[in-house]
Each structure stands twice: as structure tokens, then as C-alpha cells.
Structure 1
Amino acid sequence: MAGILIIAHAPLATALRECIAHIYGGCPARIGALDVLPDSDPVEVVAQATAEIERLREDNGALVLTDMFGATPSNIAARLATVPQVRVLAGVNLPMLVRAVCYRTTSLDMLVEKALAGASKGIQAIGPGTPAPEYGCSPTPCAEAAADAAEQAAAGATDNVKAASGLSAGVLKPAGAT
């Protein structure tokens, strides 16, 4: 299961991690947050971020999510992109983070793909004429992750992929989800 580190302008990183704890009824393991303050020393924050990546990284690596490309937090995160089995994405939003948590058991490349899709699909213009989703709400990303894993298992995927369809394998579902 990939570790996830959020690096963002204070207090966004901590707030996003707290949102995940709210959604899942507790913060899943191996999710870190690093808030960058206006007076933070970038050299010190890079050292903290490097230590966090070493603490959070798992067999399939780590994903670093940062807020705004080109700003200090993303410049710090970019330094981690040279670490083996670490990927960095800028433009974090809550749908991206939820999707990343749901797909942590997949390969790092698939995790990046799913997180990016979650970020872009989570951006919608809502107005008086906007139709509601067919079932009143969009399917949860975790339900999609379970469906993807079941589809792969049906196609004869490996035992590791088959295991990704259940909670015991690390696929998390939002509190109240069935």
C-alpha cells in the first residue's frame, strides 16, 4: 500500500488529512501532512519531507500531493520526485486525495492515473440547470476501486489484484458505505 504525503501551504495539508479522517471515521495509516508556513526555511522543510517519505513509503512507493504548482510547497515536493518509487502531483483537491486513498494498493503508476482522474472529475460547475447524478450522488471512488479490482480478478488478474477488492487488502470505504 503506497504511503501518501500532502505538502501544502498551512493549514491546507493538515486540513486535507483531517477531511480524510472525517470521511473514513479515522485517519488511515501512512498518510502524512506537512504544512508550509510563510516563514518556513525551505531547506529544513525539504529535510522534514524527506524524513516523512522514508517513514511513509511502502512496497509500492509513495505519492506526494502538493497544492499549487510553482509555489514553495510544490518546489519542496519536486525535490522528492528524484527519490525512487516516489511520484509527485500538484493541484491537490479532496477528490484527488480520496481517490488516492482508495487506490493505494495498486501500482504507483495506476495510483497516479486514478488520483489525476479523481482530481479532474471532482471539478464540476453547478447551477440551477445542472442535473443531479442518476442515483442522487456519484459512486464513491472506493466503490469504483472495488469494481475495478473485481473486473481485473474476473479477467484472470493476479492474486494481489484480487486481494485489492476488500478491506483486508487495504481498500478503504467511506464511513457508512456498504
Structure 2
Amino acid sequence: MALILMSHGDMAVETLKSAELIVGQLPETVALGLHESDGPDTLKAKVVSEIEKYYQKEPIYLLVDLLGGTPGNVAVNLTQDYPELHVISGLNLPMVLNYANQMFIGEEIKIADIMNEGKAGIVDVNAFINADASEDDEDE
């Protein structure tokens, strides 16, 4: 399995660094960022180089930051040439950690689990704390 993270700026690079700080090095994983000096063709060339290392040898998961942005558009367009490429938008740290956990225990990657983990990581902490405090009040 291979994982490619792609974003505007260094979000993907820093997300990978954060994930590896938590779980250790992630093999067959790379992060690419789009910078002001880059255009879509530059980013496409970088990601195609990574895809070619693994395509039709093992599954490739491409996580992008934003659907409709340049990295997302490049990824969507690549599915024309690489129909087995799995593209997921909404890149965040919980998604990468979930991928890592599935990979490390040797499971087949479940895209729904990656997406659910990403969504579950979005929490209104104040509302969570207040709900917990309300439950404590009810117990008294």
C-alpha cells in the first residue's frame, strides 16, 4: 500500500511529519505541496512520479486537502489515467493516523473508516465539555 498526501502549501508535508511523530515512520508514504512558484503541471509531474512507483503493484491512496482546489483537481484528473487510484479529499491528521493503524495491523484499507475518522476528529470542544458538565450535574 502506498499513501500520497497532497495539499496547498506545506500542509501535507507537515501533516505527515506530525503523523510520524505519533506513530513512527510510514513506509511508502510521501507528501507533496503546491507552492506559489508551482503550477498544476509541476504538481502533476511530481505526483505521477510517485504513482508510477506503485501503480498496479499495490493500492495507492491519494489524500488531498480540498476538492476543487488545484491539488484536488490534479488528483481527480489523474483518475482518468490511473483508474485504480483511490482519491479522498479533506486531508487531516486523524485520517492519516487511521490509515497508519490499518496498515500497521495488516488490514485491507477501508476508505470509509479513514473518512469517518477524519470527520470524527472535528469536535466543538466547548460544546463537548458543556455536555459532559451537564451530565455530571444530572448525576448529582
Relative to structure 1, the CA distance from residue 114 to residue 46 in structure 2 (aligned partners, 3 Å threshold; closer, same or farther) is: same
**Under a length normalisation based on structure 1, what TM-score does the superposition of the two structures give?**
0.65
Q: 1:68 aligns with which of 54, 57, 66?
A: 66
Check conservation: 1:67, 1:90, Cα contact below 8 A: yes
Q: Cα offset for 1:13?
A: 1.0
**Take 1:14 and 1:58, find their aligned partners in 2: how far apart are those partners?**
25
**2:108 is matched with which residue?**
107
**Take 2:41 and 2:63, find their aligned partners in 1: how far apart are those partners?**
19
Q: Cα offset for 1:11?
A: 0.9
Relative to structure 1, the CA distance from residue 4 to residue 70 in structure 2 (aligned partners, 3 Å threshold; closer, same or farther) is: same
Whichever residue aligns with residue 86 of structure 1, its letter is: L
Residues 95-128 of structure 1 show CA distances to partners (whole Å, capped at 9, x for unaligned) of: 11111122234335x2x11111111111111114
Q: Cα offset for 1:53?
A: 1.6
Max radius of gyration: which structure? 2
Relative to structure 1, the CA distance from residue 114 to residue 15 in structure 2 (aligned partners, 3 Å threshold; closer, same or farther) is: same
**Take 2:76 and 2:14, find their aligned partners in 1: how far apart are those partners?**
21
Q: Cα offset for 1:131?
A: 2.7
Indicate yes or no: 2:95 matched with 1:96.
yes
RMSD: 2.0
Q: Please, which runs of 5 or more residues in structure 2 have no aligned partner?
A: 134-140
Count, aligned residues:
128
**2:37 is matched with which residue?**
39
More helix by share: 2
**Under a length normalisation based on structure 2, what TM-score does the superposition of the two structures give?**
0.81
Identity of paired residues, percent?
23
Q: 2:50 aligns with which of 49, 52, 64?
A: 52
Q: 1:80 aligns with which of 78, 81, 99?
A: 78
Q: Which has the higher contact order (CA 8 A, sep 6+)?
A: 2
Residues 62-116 of structure 1 show CA distances to partners (whole Å, capped at 9, x for unaligned) of: 10000011111111121232314310011111111111122234335x2x11111
**1:131 is matched with which residue?**
132
